[in-house]
Amino acid sequence: MHRFPHVPVLALLLSVAVAPAAAQTEMVASPNSRIQVAVTTQGPLTYSVMHDDELLVEASPLGVVLSTGDTLGTDVRLVHAAERSHDETWTQPWGEVTTIRDHHRELHLALAEDERRMDLRVRVFDDGVGFRYEWPAQDGLASFEIMGERTGFRFARDAEAWWIRAYEWNRYEYLYENTRLSQAGSVLHTPFTLAFAEGPFVAVHEAALVDYAAMSLRRSGPLAYQADLAPWSTGVRVYAEAPAQSPWRVLLIGDVPGDLVTNYTVLNLNAPNTLGDVSWVQPGTYVGIWWGMHLGELTWWPGPHLGATTERAKRYIDFAAAHDFDGVLVEGWNVGWDADWLGDGRSFSFTDPVEAFDLEAVAAYARERGTRLVGHHETAGNVPGYEAQMDSAYALMADLGVTSVKTGYVQWGMNFPRTEGPGVAPGDTAREWNYGQYMVNHYRRTLEAAARHQLSLNIHEPIKSTGLRRTYPNLLTTEGARGQEFNSPGGGGNGPGHVPTLVFTRMLAGPMDFTPGIFDIAAADEEHNRVPTTLAGQLALYVVLFSPLHMAADLVENYAPHLDALQFIKDVPVDWADTRVLEGAIGEHVTIARQDRHSDDWYLGAKTNGESRTVAVALDFLEAGRTYTATLYRDADDADWRSNPVAYTIESRTVTADAQLRIPLAPGGGLAVRFVPED
Ligand code: NOJ
Ligand code: CA
């Protein structure tokens, strides 16, 4: 234990040692003082983090390397330091909670190196730390090229870690690995989740990734990682023009795993809504012509098994209208799909429907029945092709009454043929990483263009979420992890531990379009290629995984034998007033309760990995003194995801806030509960 670390400021503070003469240090603490950040402001710029008086992050480097060969951050001097407090509560237009408190202390350090200025802004919350670089407008630094960041995360002790590797062909779609921090991979994506013995739980991530390259983490020591910025094909990481700023480098910090989930530091570090009135952004649930393609029964491309036919779309619309779904997704509706569609997506039109799909008639049929189409634009990663059509495509969608579009960027790794911009001669092309500055800017342009047509986006193969939904509330949800599609035949399967891992890793970044709700669970018979939950476990996902757009992903005919279980999906909201993580162990189990934003109803979802176990939770989130009818959708006694996945039981109980809920979960199982006040 490093109870008395050799950080000069702490030495001074505790009066236990003589501070080394060299470094001057500025310090800022969280409002409750449990987290303290110290920054050396003379010579090499470094920061360290204390949590409950123990060193969590040892003195770690800060700064950037420029293409001129200069570094900023190796020999700085302090021009000016300012500290301030901030306490503000703001309202989300939609979300996992209605209001969020942004309570932090900020240290702003104006720094100079030679004749150049680079400032550091640090914000310390009771449950997290954020810091970023700022380059003010100045003569000596107009346009500049960042070749890398020196930013380090040198942890003071080993921990248990959950991570996926970066720079792999399938972007973020990997199963999480669970190792010691000292054994974790050489280059990782964030969020990177850590559990230290005796606490705390920590996740490294970033916030407000705007006009910059995404940060991965590259190993730099036994317990240390360094920020690694995704390069352009030119080798440059970031093309910048002062005034400029980096995204926030963020540590989420909590006492229990659930504290990471109900941690709003990333949102607090993003700029407020820039879109003004966003009453046109509509959360909701949808069904769609989708799973049939993943089962291999239907195709995205024209032929005898085309999914997107007028007749099938109308059948899905009838189902949506009968069961109050807000939308119907139809994939494969447009010209350009063939069996090799992810070649490079050159032929996709986002305005021309295929012959078998009467777009205007289907959209009108949906509107007349009180639902609507959900748009689908699979770009196959052809960004120039999409940008050329984006405005007319969104205009068409808006004309048809569509309010949200699912976009997609399936490609084999860094396969984006860019035809202009840095390093590209006329007639030439260059391919870019999905998470470099080029794509970061592209995704933002799609949000801005969509907003002009009052459309919201659900981005598949996205850049990871960094809280931009606060600034652009029409960024409803994204994928960016292994979702249900991997539980299809040939998908390889996610395994039953995936969801209890996702909640404490990928989900810390923001909502996910996981596409739950498969009821025909044994559609594929091999264990490693099928949905690894019970049916009650599928229902639990609507509460456990937050998304303001949730799909009921199965073929609609598969709901007919289980309309009693479908009732939960019809009832469960996607927009919440409050969220509480009642218990959880990363990769093992989790129980979350959420309150509907538009009624006094509460919902609960519990999910276990492959182990059976008993959920035992207090219902003290319910309003004291009120009586509720609880409708429980639980695993039948003999349910098991491998051998008997569909066996479920629905029962009602009368409960109050004083009650305890004790319910067994089957292997791979789950529990979904709706609580409705009786008065
Ligand atoms: C990958 C997406 O994640 C999936 O939902 C979609 O069906 C296919 N791409 C085709 O666009
Ligand atoms: Ca995908």
What single-letter amino acid sits at 177? Answer: E
Residue-level pLDDT at 347:
87
Q: How many angstroms separate the alpha carbon of residue 499 from the centre of ligand 1?
A: 19
CATH for the stretch 2-268: 2.70.98.10
Buried-state track 484-507, b at ≥16 Cβ within 10 A, e below 16: bbbbbbebebbbbbbbbbbbbbbb
Ligand 1: which of 300, 342, 378, 458 to mutate, most ligand atoms within 8 Å of CB? 378
Token pair for 171: 């972007």
CA atoms of 29 and 591, how far apart (whole Å)? 32
pLDDT of residue 524: 65
Q: What is the pLDDT of residues 484-519, one digit of tens each?
A: 999 998 899 999 999 999 999 999 999 999 999 999
**Residue with CA nearest ligand 1 atom 3:** 460
How would you class 364 by CB atoms within 10 Å of its CB: exposed for 0-12, middle for 13-18, buried for 19 or more?
Answer: middle
User: Pairing mode, if any, of strands 549-551 and 284-289?
Assistant: parallel
Mean pLDDT, the chain, rounded, equals 95
What's the confidence (pLDDT) of residue 21? Answer: 44
Give the chain's end-to-end CA distance (angstroms, integer). 54
Task: Give the closest residue to 673 by CA, choosing from 610, 582, 547, 611.
Answer: 582
Report whether 601 contacts 644 (CB < 8 A): no
State which ligand 1 atom lies nearest to the alpha carbon of 515: 5
Backbone angles phi, psi at 93, to 5 degrees: -65, -30
| Residue written as token pair 């109803």 | 601
Identify whether 191 is preceded by a cis peptide bond (ω within 30 of 0). yes
Instruction: Give the CA angle between residues 535, 538, 541 to the nearest 5°.
Output: 155
| Cβ atoms 592, 585 nearer than 8 A | no
CA of 518 to the centre of ligand 2 (A): 17
- Where are the domain boundaries for CATH 2.70.98.10 in the chain? 2-268
List, as one string, the DSSP characters of 188-202.
E-S-EEEE-TTS-EE
Kindly identify the ligand whose nearest atom is closest to the C-alpha of 299: 1
Distance 648 CA to ligand 1 centre (A): 30
Q: How far is the CA of 377 from the centre of ligand 1 (A)?
A: 10
d(CA 401, CA 448): 19
- Which residues sit opposite 119 in a β-bridge? 134
Which residue in the block uniquely carries the two structure tokens 């390259």? 213
Ligand 1 neighbours (beta carbon < 6 A): 290, 331, 378, 408, 410, 460, 479, 485
Q: Do 438 and 416 touch, CB atoms closer than 8 A?
A: yes
| Res 341: pLDDT | 86
263-283 pLDDT, tens digit each: 999 999 999 999 999 999 999
Ion ligand 2: protein residues whose beta carbon lies under 5 Å: 460
Q: Please give the number of the atom of ligand 1 that sits closest to the Cα of 461.
A: 3
pTM score > 0.85 for this model?
A: yes
Atom number of ligand 1 nearest to Cα 294: 7
The order of strands in the sheet holding 71-72 is 71-72, 64-66, 143-149, 238-241
434, 485, 506: residue to mutate for ligand 1 pocket, most atoms within 8 A of CB: 485
Helix 383-399 / helix 437-452 crossing angle, nearest 10 deg: 20
Q: For atom 7 of ligand 1, which residue has the closest CA?
A: 290
Contact yes or no for 171/189 (Cβ under 8 A): no
Give the three-class secondary structure for 135: strand
- The CA distance from 527 to 152, in Å, is 41
Give dist(CA 278, CA 214) in Å, integer: 27
Quickly count: other Cβ atoms within 10 Å of residue 359's Cβ: 20
Q: Which residue, chain included where needed, has tokens 């199965």? A: 554
- CA of 63 from ligand 1 middle (Å) equals 39
The neighbouring-strand residues paired with 456 are 404
Atom of ligand 1 nearest to the CA of 460: 3
266 φψ region: left (φ > 0), alpha (ψ -120 to 50), beta (else)? alpha
Nearest residue to 512 (alpha-carbon basis) of 556, 539, 544: 544
Note the pLDDT tens digit of each residue in 376-402: 999 999 999 999 999 999 999 999 999
Rg (CA), the chain: 25
Strand 25-29 relative to strand 35-40, pairing:
antiparallel
* Parts of the chain with a pLDDT under 70: 1-23, 344, 413-415, 524-525
What pLDDT score does 375 carry? Answer: 98
Q: Counting atoms of ligand 1 from 1, which one is nearest the CA of 483?
A: 3
CATH 3.20.20.70 region(s) of the chain? Answer: 284-573
What DSSP character marks residue 435? T
- Least distant ligand from the CA of 171: 2
Of the candidates 287, 327, 286, 331, the residue with the CA atom closest to the CA atom of residue 308? 331
Strand partners, 197: none
C-alpha neighbours within 13 Å on the C-beta side of residue 636: 13
- pLDDT of 2 reads 39
* H or E, element range at 290: none
Distance 460 CA to ligand 1 centre (A): 7
Which residues, other chains included, contact 673 with Cβ-Cβ below 8 Å and sequence gap of 6+? 603, 604, 605, 630, 631, 632, 633, 661
Is the separation of the CB atoms in 150 and 73 below 8 Å? yes
Residues recognised as catalytic: 485
pLDDT at residue 415, rounded to an integer: 67
Residue given tokens 């004749």 in the structure block: 115
Right CATH number for 284-573 from 3.90.110.10, 2.30.30.40, 3.40.50.300, 3.20.20.70?
3.20.20.70
